[in-house]
Structure 1
Amino acid sequence: MSIIKQMDSKLANMIAAGEVVDRPASVIKELVENSIDANATIITIEVLDMGMQSIIVTDNGDGMDFTDAHLAFNRHATSKIKDESDLSHINTLGFRGEALAAISAVSKVTLRTRQENQEGIQVEYHGSHLISEGSATLNKGTVVEVKELFFNTPARFKYIKSDYAERAAIIDIFDRLALANPKIRFTLKMDDKTIKETYGTSDFYHLIDQIYGSKMTKDMTIFEETVQKIKIIGYLLSPQIARSRKKDISIFVNGRYIKNYRLIQAVIDGYHSYMMVGKYPIALIHMEMDPSLLDVNVHPQKYEVKFVNESMLSYHIETLIKEALNKKTHQIPEALNRIRKDENEKYTPQSLEFGENLVQEKNDGNDYQKIQKIPDFDFVGVFSGTYLLFQNEDGLFMMDQHAAAERIRYEHYYNSLANPNHTIRSLLMPRSLDLTIEDMEVISQHTKSFESYGFIFNEDTDLIGLPVWILDTEVDLAIETMVSMLAENSKIDLAVLRDSLAKDISCKGAIKANKSLNQNEINNILKDLRQCKNPYTCPHGRPTVIKLSHYDVERMFKRVV
């Protein structure tokens, strides 16, 4: 006797609902995506009791006829794809035909809809069962009301989190949908109170202000590039606006918000050395590409996407962010309460080589103009033996001499290590190093790696040749750093080695705090810092210079209120 039986549609829908609908926020996501696919330009979301009592999504989209209003509640009924070939060219947010079927399986749903020049229609489903149908009065578009979510699956309630967590999840999905669709006007109401609203004007400055708060676009960097027919637009908020979590890094592909660890990491790496370790930026990356280059049919909630060449895409995103941040003239942090709280040889600037002090940016006439990243100011003294004080008509500037020297040396060594084919200077006498037996074994196993950087050893593991870019006082430190990295990894990651070696040498060899500097050394620090691509932070993300405006000073002395 056969023990395998065909599952009835109601039970199948309830099982599918567990994949598609796990909390009120996921209901909102699915309904709003349907509205977007219906060409809506105005979408309103109303929530009562964090969505457990009711969720209403209203749009001015195309609407449905009588037949489609019923078919929409059937599992795998969709207008988005018709055959196998459509799966590789998906241009819509929804396509699986599961959303309404899954939602209606675990709630009470009323759908009212009207097409242009047609009568309105209303259908009502409770737990996948049709309860009523008839006419309705409404403007063109669709209204979906979801009541008593999980009324027939009480076990699901134990997975619902606190009111605060559910509220945060609803606001988060609203933010992602709004940021992905700047041309649509969105409104979110919770318990009859308007929480957020966007204008649908395609103005990203206004949009980001509405989502993240006013003045968040101050010092925002924007770039737009096309790489191998993939259009990439980045909206990078100021590195001074740091977050403790990665959640404010948003990736969008063809208007779809996605979660992709590798691309998020590319954004973080792009901000490298602009932010403290453990801090993350607010950044939006929009990509437009041929649908055949990605697969969105990976997970029922459609957050996961597979790309044809993900490693190439992540490389370009990281590179574009670095270039955009380095080209821009950023604001120097102002006022002490705005500074992020997370936290031996003489300086010889003539031995370091840098590029141009001034960066090039396009003006409105498509010509390039040179902009100085660090303003002109006059040296006035030293505070606490560590902070160099400068002033101009804008206020008082404090420079951390150690952080500034770190940045200068970091960029020197980072640039020097960019090309492994270094000019080598031979030593008249072999130079012995303080190495352990284990260190010498590492060197002997990776002789070619050391040679590629210009470090030449003889059979006794003594140095007989050095790259011209390194100072004699820092040879031991460089060898120590390279030995440590080679001992931990079977092969060298050039990018990681380049960055780590530059950081170690720059940090340990930079001017220390409380070290007395003469006027010539101070002038050289300022001169060389101005030559850096990123003169604003040390390699670890700490600020090199902060500003105390005249207003801040006068306020401290109660001259202004």
Structure 2
Amino acid sequence: MLNVIQLLPDSIANQIAAGEVVQRPASVVKELLENSVDAKAKSIQVIIREAGRNLIQIVDDGVGMTETDARMSFERHATSKIRSSDDLFRIRTMGFRGEALASIAAVAQVEMRTRRAEDELGTLIRIEGSDIKAQESISCLPGTNLLIKNLFFNVPARRNFLKSNSVEMRHIIDEFQRVALANPEVGFSLFHNDQEIYNLPAGKLSRRIIDMFGKSYREQLNYCEEQTPYVTVRGYIGKPESAKKARNEQFFFVNNRYIKHNYLHHAVVGAYEGMLPEGSHPFYVLFVDIDPSHIDINIHPTKTEIKFDDERSVYAIMMAAVRKAVGMYNLAPSLDFDSDVNFLSGGRSSGSKSSDDSKSGDVPSSVPRPVTPSWMMGSRLDDKPKSERATFRSDSLDKAAGSSFDIPKKPSTENWQALFDGLSSSQDAKPAAEPGDWLNSVKPAPSTASNEGAENEAVTIGSRANQLEAATVVEDENIVQIQNRYLLAPIKSGIMLIDQKRAHERILYEQFHAALTKRNGVSQQLLFPKTVTLTPVDFQLALDLREDLTNLGFQFDELGQNTFVIRGVPTLTMGENEEELFANLLAQLRAETGRLKLDRAESLARSLARRSAQRYVTRLSSTERKALVDQLFASSNPSYTPGGEPVTTLLTLDKIAGLFR
């Protein structure tokens, strides 16, 4: 029997390794950028053509390589950073496994020029599919110049699985941003199809963030730092009011290496507890410096996931650091004891002193004294006649002077009959006890007391107004609205509960999807066109989706670098901030890229419907309630949102009866 096990040829082994390391063009950009950073480059230039399919070029001014090192760098497991097994636990550089260049050369046409500053000549190496085609001495600039041409040229199946140019370019920009943020002391530039996307000079981290994300971030950045013997946390966090719906501007770096860590993200969000709107995510760029022996970075091929030997301590320190920054920079609501927050401008100051206080030397004058509101001061106003008190109160409100608490100790019941003005005629026209009148058993107490004795008697305010409100709710086509969020519709088998916002999302999705499919979206022209500046990633996404966005009803034109002028928006989105609508829609689309395998029309309709439905938590009239229910049940799937969340639920008569047992 013949032996069946044999060693793989190097070319096939390299292609298998490339399957882990080189998943898409962005993987190549990441590996080569990290190599340039490890080479101590001060300036790195990235040139991309056709989203990396045709060309990826990385030019740096690092230390360069000798001829032998240049040749050895393309061998598998060849590295300059590991000498013993102990080195694996002291890694502080990026690339160290020695697989990147070998894997890239196995699935692309590679050309490398490199020279050390002290050498007169450099080295040129050409490789195609792991085969060395040329190696010679040339004249070149110090540093390394790597060209990756025709990625996956010898693996057509992998090339066919690449996404559109816009999607692949967004992944490249994401990797570029992560490396650039981790190394603000290095200058970076990025070009795509001869168009400059980023030009980031070397500088401080805050400057890097502003150059990368825009000048609007200048006002929302707040420094965060916490040092302990075990770990140090530093970086910048954003203000709660600048939080966005999409979670795509959040960065963790451990020893300057970008990572994804949901546990640490939970710590940051927990520090913002009570300050973020529902569904919003804060901006942060946070660095964790820790001894490499306390972490394991070899649990994922791309090294974006790590493990800490004491995650709870890192979690607590991270949360404490962010909370400290939130408090230090007055991000949270706080009391200002130096200003008069309890009284209007014409009233007494919280820092004023009485004559008695001025004589006492117990408390320094710089310490504000508490002020007792007039309603706690007993007889000063209560001793006044009733007419004077009413006059004083009226004058205080009209002139916006004095304390907002300057009211009599006992509430006045003068003119209480005015509460029922206009109700008597309604009561005469309608019987008090109608079918469905839930509160008709409560009757107002008759007024038999004189005005002089009104203050000394307990006055019961009748519920006729409540009776009218209850009757009106029941008559609203039998559809009741609760807290502007839910609708209750009685049906034969019980009560149907409808989530108002989700119902709007389902209805809007059907309309947006129909507009995209039929290409007949209605646009509302803006009287004054709006300009919106986007990130390079979102700008590229908008260009790629221009046709679909136009079919929805958006009308926009390019206006300079990363800027659009919006001339029209879909009719169904009127009333929203046009710039926020456009920018948040693109950010949401980018965040969901690759999460679900959806076509463009489906993804766009879902995102816009979810975005627009946020504003439908509002009071609805009787006609609007009925129209909402009718449109919901005319849709293709009234029970669920496009994302699979339930829209309706049924309380049967048996369930309702069970609640009373």
TM over 0.5: yes
Structure-to-structure mapping, 1:174-253, within 5 angstroms? 174-201=176-203, 203-253=204-254
Q: Residues 151 and 159 of structure 2 are in contact (CA less than 8 Å); yes or no, is this contact kept in structure 1?
A: no
- Provide the residue aligned with 2:27 in structure 1: 26
- Provide the residue aligned with 2:294 in structure 1: 293
Change (3 A) 1:377 1:160: farther
1:116 lines up with 2:117 in the alignment: yes
SS of the counterpart of 1:316? helix
Q: Quick one: distance in 2 between partners of 1:169 and 1:372? A: 50
Q: Quick one: distance in 1 between partners of 2:341 and 2:138? A: 65
Change (3 A) 1:372 1:136: farther
Aligned residue type for 1:162: S
Alpha-carbon deviations, 1:62-111, whole Å to 9, x = none? 10001110111111100011111100110111111010011111100001
Q: Residues 81 and 95 of structure 1 are in contact (CA less than 8 Å); yes or no, is this contact kept in structure 2?
A: yes
Change (3 A) 1:372 1:311: farther
Q: Quick one: distance in 2 between partners of 1:373 and 1:231? A: 40
- Provide the residue aligned with 1:313 in structure 2: 314
Q: Quick one: distance in 2 between partners of 1:377 and 1:124? A: 78
Aligned residue type for 1:153: V
SS of the counterpart of 1:143? strand
Report the Cα offset of residue 29 of structure 1. 0.3
- Provide the residue aligned with 2:258 in structure 1: 257
Aligned residue type for 1:237: G
1:126 lines up with 2:128 in the alignment: yes
1:38 lines up with 2:16 in the alignment: no
Q: Quick one: distance in 1 between partners of 2:6 and 2:90? A: 35
Q: Quick one: distance in 2 between partners of 1:86 and 1:147? A: 34
Alpha-carbon deviations, 1:443-468, whole Å to 9, x = none? xxxxxxxxxxxxxxxxxxxxxxxxxx
Change (3 A) 1:10 1:276: same
1:357 lines up with 2:335 in the alignment: yes
Q: Quick one: distance in 1 between partners of 2:7 and 2:315? A: 45
Alpha-carbon deviations, 1:32-78, whole Å to 9, x = none? 00001111111000000101010000001010001110111111100
Q: Residues 217 and 237 of structure 1 are in contact (CA less than 8 Å); yes or no, is this contact kept in structure 2?
A: no
Report the Cα offset of residue 248 of structure 1. 1.4
Q: Quick one: distance in 1 between partners of 2:251 and 2:338? A: 30
Q: Which has the higher contact order (CA 8 A, sep 6+)?
A: 1
Q: Residues 326 and 332 of structure 2 are in contact (CA less than 8 Å); yes or no, is this contact kept in structure 1?
A: no
- Provide the residue aligned with 1:322 in structure 2: 323
Q: Quick one: distance in 2 between partners of 1:174 and 1:375? A: 51
Q: Residues 122 and 133 of structure 1 are in contact (CA less than 8 Å); yes or no, is this contact kept in structure 2?
A: yes
Q: Residues 329 and 372 of structure 1 are in contact (CA less than 8 Å); yes or no, is this contact kept in structure 2?
A: no
Aligned residue type for 2:149: K
TM-score by length of 1: 0.59
- Provide the residue aligned with 2:166 in structure 1: 164
SS of the counterpart of 2:273? coil
Change (3 A) 1:61 1:377: farther
Q: Residues 75 and 101 of structure 1 are in contact (CA less than 8 Å); yes or no, is this contact kept in structure 2?
A: yes
Aligned residue type for 2:263: R
SS of the counterpart of 1:272? coil
Q: Quick one: distance in 1 between partners of 2:304 and 2:266? A: 17
Q: Quick one: distance in 1 between partners of 2:74 and 2:340? A: 59
SS of the counterpart of 2:239? coil
Q: Quick one: distance in 1 between partners of 2:331 and 2:340? A: 7
Deviates more, 1:295-304 or 1:11-20: 295-304
Alpha-carbon deviations, 1:387-439, whole Å to 9, x = none? xx9xx9xxxxxxxxxxxxxxxxxxxxxxxxxxxxxxxxxxxxxxxxxxxxxxx
Change (3 A) 1:321 1:93: same
1:52 lines up with 2:49 in the alignment: no
Change (3 A) 1:377 1:189: farther
Q: Residues 180 and 255 of structure 1 are in contact (CA less than 8 Å); yes or no, is this contact kept in structure 2?
A: yes
Aligned residue type for 1:65: T
Q: Residues 219 and 330 of structure 1 are in contact (CA less than 8 Å); yes or no, is this contact kept in structure 2?
A: no
- Provide the residue aligned with 1:151 in structure 2: 153
Aligned residue type for 1:34: N
Runs ≥4 in structure 1, deviation > 6 angstroms? 370-377
SS of the counterpart of 2:148? strand
Deviates more, 1:103-112 or 1:291-300: 291-300
Q: Quick one: distance in 1 between partners of 2:124 and 2:80? A: 20
Q: Quick one: distance in 2 between partners of 1:106 and 1:142? A: 20
Change (3 A) 1:31 1:375: farther
Report the Cα offset of residue 172 of structure 1. 1.0
Q: Quick one: distance in 1 between partners of 2:282 and 2:124? A: 46
Aligned residue type for 2:198: K
- Provide the residue aligned with 2:143 in structure 1: 141
What is the aligned residue count? 349
Report the Cα offset of residue 7 of structure 1. 1.1
Q: Residues 240 and 275 of structure 2 are in contact (CA less than 8 Å); yes or no, is this contact kept in structure 1?
A: yes
SS of the counterpart of 2:252? strand
1:72 lines up with 2:73 in the alignment: yes
Q: CA RMSD in A?
A: 2.6
Report the Cα offset of residue 374 of structure 1. 8.0
1:86 lines up with 2:100 in the alignment: no
Q: Residues 220 and 242 of structure 2 are in contact (CA less than 8 Å); yes or no, is this contact kept in structure 1?
A: no
Report the Cα offset of residue 375 of structure 1. 12
Q: Quick one: distance in 1 between partners of 2:40 and 2:186? A: 9
Report the Cα offset of residue 145 of structure 1. 0.3
Q: Quick one: distance in 2 between partners of 1:15 and 1:375? A: 71
- Provide the residue aligned with 1:103 in structure 2: 104
Q: Quick one: distance in 2 between partners of 1:200 and 1:298? A: 32
Deviates more, 1:204-213 or 1:76-85: 204-213
SS of the counterpart of 2:276? coil
SS of the counterpart of 1:217? helix
SS of the counterpart of 2:275? coil
SS of the counterpart of 1:216? helix
Aligned residue type for 2:75: N
Deviates more, 1:218-227 or 1:172-181: 218-227
Q: Quick one: distance in 2 between partners of 1:137 and 1:375? A: 76
Q: Quick one: distance in 2 between partners of 1:376 and 1:285? A: 41
Aligned residue type for 1:265: H
Q: Quick one: distance in 2 between partners of 1:217 and 1:229? A: 31
Report the structure number with the largest CA radius of gyration: 2
TM-score by length of 2: 0.50
Q: Quick one: distance in 1 between partners of 2:250 and 2:113? A: 36
Alpha-carbon deviations, 1:488-540, whole Å to 9, x = none? xxxxxxxxxxxxxxxxxxxxxxxxxxxxxxxxxxxxxxxxxxxxxxxxxxxxx
Change (3 A) 1:316 1:134: same
SS of the counterpart of 1:173? helix
Change (3 A) 1:211 1:374: farther
Q: Quick one: distance in 1 between partners of 2:28 and 2:252? A: 21
Q: Residues 259 and 305 of structure 2 are in contact (CA less than 8 Å); yes or no, is this contact kept in structure 1?
A: yes
Aligned residue type for 2:254: V
Q: Residues 101 and 128 of structure 1 are in contact (CA less than 8 Å); yes or no, is this contact kept in structure 2?
A: yes
Change (3 A) 1:268 1:117: same
Report the Cα offset of residue 371 of structure 1. 8.3
Q: Quick one: distance in 2 between partners of 1:373 and 1:87? A: 61
Deviates more, 1:100-109 or 1:159-168: 159-168
Change (3 A) 1:371 1:324: farther
Alpha-carbon deviations, 1:175-198, whole Å to 9, x = none? 111110010000011111110121
Report the Cα offset of residue 158 of structure 1. 3.2
Report the Cα offset of residue 329 of structure 1. 2.3
Deviates more, 1:76-85 or 1:215-224: 215-224
Change (3 A) 1:74 1:269: same
SS of the counterpart of 2:216? coil
